[in-house]
Structure formats: C-alpha cells, structure tokens
Amino acid sequence: MTELLLVEDETTLRETLAYLLTRQGYSVRTASDGAVALTAIAEHQPDLILLDLMLPAVSGTQVCRQVRLTSDVPIIMLTAKNMEGDIVVGLELGADDYVTKPFSTPELLARIRAVLRHRSKTPTGAPAGPIPTGSAPEETLRASGIEMDVERHRLWVDGAEVTMPLREFELLELLLRNAGRVLTRDQLIDRVWGSDYYGDTKTLDVHVRRIRSRIEVDPAQPVRLVTVRGLGYRLED
C-alpha cells in the first residue's frame, strides 16, 4: 500500500484530506508541524509527502531542504495562491510539484498519481533487474557541447562533469534526443510529467531555469537551451 505523509497544520484541512486520501486506498500518516514531519519521514520513509509550506516552527521549504539532503521521496507542496516566491524556492529545492489552495480532490489525486507513476518508471537506488555482463550497449548523447551518458546518469558540459537531479536530467535527455528541433511546452510536460498533468507550466519553466544554470555560461542569455517564443524550447545542435 502506498504510504503518504500529509504535513498540514490546519486541523480541519488535515483531517478532511487524510480521510479522503484513505478512502482512495492510500495509507495516510499526518504531521501538524515541520519538526514532527521530519521525524516521521526519518522513521517511516513514506512513498510520497504532501507538504504545506506555511507551517509553524520549521517551514515547508526548510522541511523540503532537509529531506532532499538524504532522500529522493516525491514531494508535492500545498501552497496558498499568493506564495509564488515560496513555490519557486520549493521547486528549486527539489519538490516535484505543487497544488494551490483551494484545490479540488480530483486535482490533488491526479498530481499524486502522476508523481507516483513517474517514480515507478524511474527507479533510483536499487538496481533494476540483472546487471548485464560484458559490454552493454552504451548510449552517449551529444549536442551543444553537452555529453550525456544516459545509462550511468552522467553529464559533461564542455568536458567538465556536472551533476543534475533526475527530473532535469530526463528533461535534458529528451531535448538532447531532439537536438535542433523545437519541442513544445506541452510535449515536454507530457513526456516528463505525464499526460494527465494539470495546471500551469511554471514547473517546466523552473526546471528549464535549473538546467540552464548548469549548462549555460550565462544562464540569463542562453545559447544552448533556447526559448522559441510562442512555441517551446530547443536545444541547439
């Protein structure tokens, strides 16, 4: 059974959500502040965290930062509309997605499913299946001074190795495979986040910005991963 940790200090919302999610077949643990959440995460290793950003004692963004030091667990932030700055900070700290309050239950469930499905497609940590012996076919993608070893999850920019979180790596892989071609925002979101991804494209923009900070000499004047106005993005060949 999928275990969710719901971190929310508003009692009514926490209890209502816990009830709704339990009815959907999830096992739900709750925490009412950031400190309790961090203890619960360490002790129970949930499969997914729903994280309110406005929390007493330890804020949601602080929880996010702490968790990402040691864990890759999916995090969906629960945020208020006027918290754009915190949303961006949270995404940059490695949260997977966010929903803005008030959100509908179907919307939240769709996001949970999308994030979980994505994770199950891309196992991290434990080796998936037998490790091939001998020389496995190796795939290296190259464009724009970037070299990517897809299998080993390694990346070089102008010959220097750089690290990149999973989601950005996948996004860049998709762009590399289509180097020289424009990919629309919908195509990118579809392929990386899943076709039932709701909501706006801010998440995509943040990920693009994070990629640029690693591959561009001047991220404000991108020459490798360029915006094609009104269409989408292109990685130059």
**Distance in Å, CB of 7 to Ca ion, minimum:** 9
**Distance in Å, CB of 10 to Ca ion, minimum:** 5
Q: Which of 235, 232, 230 is nearest to 185 (CA)?
A: 232
Greatest extent of the chain over all pairs of C-alpha atoms, in Å: 58
Tokens representing residue 216 in the block: 């561009």
**Distance in Å, CB of 8 to Ca ion, minimum:** 6
| Rounded-to-integer distance, Cα 47 and Cα 160, Å | 34
**Distance in Å, CB of 58 to Ca ion, minimum:** 12
- How remote is the C-alpha of 74 from its chain's centroid? 7
Question: Which CB, 57 or 228, lies closer to Ca ion?
Answer: 57
**Distance in Å, CB of 55 to Ca ion, minimum:** 6
Question: Which CB, 38 or 54, lies closer to Ca ion?
Answer: 54
CA angle at residue 68 from 80 to 29, to 5 degrees? 65
Question: Which CB, 86 or 173, lies closer to Ca ion?
Answer: 86
Hey, what amino acid is at 21?
L
Q: Which of 90, 10, 17 is nearest to 53 (CA)?
A: 90
**Distance in Å, CB of 63 to Ca ion, minimum:** 12
Question: Which CB, 79 or 203, lies closer to Ca ion?
Answer: 79
173 binds Ca ion (CB under 5 A): no
Which of the stretches 5-13, 30-38, 144-152, 201-209 binds Ca ion when contact is defined by CB under 5 A?
5-13
Among 3, 9, 33, 72, binds Ca ion (CB under 5 A): 9
Site for Ca ion in 88-127 (CB under 5 A): none
Site for Ca ion in 28-57 (CB under 5 A): 52, 54
| Rounded-to-integer distance, Cα 91 and Cα 95, Å | 5
Cα separation values, 156 from 164, 207, 223, Å:
10, 18, 17
Question: Which CB, 4 or 192, lies closer to Ca ion?
Answer: 4
| Rounded-to-integer distance, Cα 64 and Cα 77, Å | 9
Question: Which CB, 57 or 231, lies closer to Ca ion?
Answer: 57
Q: Which of 118, 57, 103 is nearest to 198 (CA)?
A: 103
Question: Which CB, 9 or 190, lies closer to Ca ion?
Answer: 9
DSSP 152: T
| Rounded-to-integer distance, Cα 74 and Cα 82, Å | 23
The count of residues interacting with Ca ion (CB under 5 A) is: 3
**Distance in Å, CB of 137 to Ca ion, minimum:** 50
Which of the stretches 6-14, 21-29, 134-142, 212-220 binds Ca ion when contact is defined by CB under 5 A?
6-14
Hey, what amino acid is at 220?
A
Residues near Ca ion, by CB under 5 A: 9, 52, 54
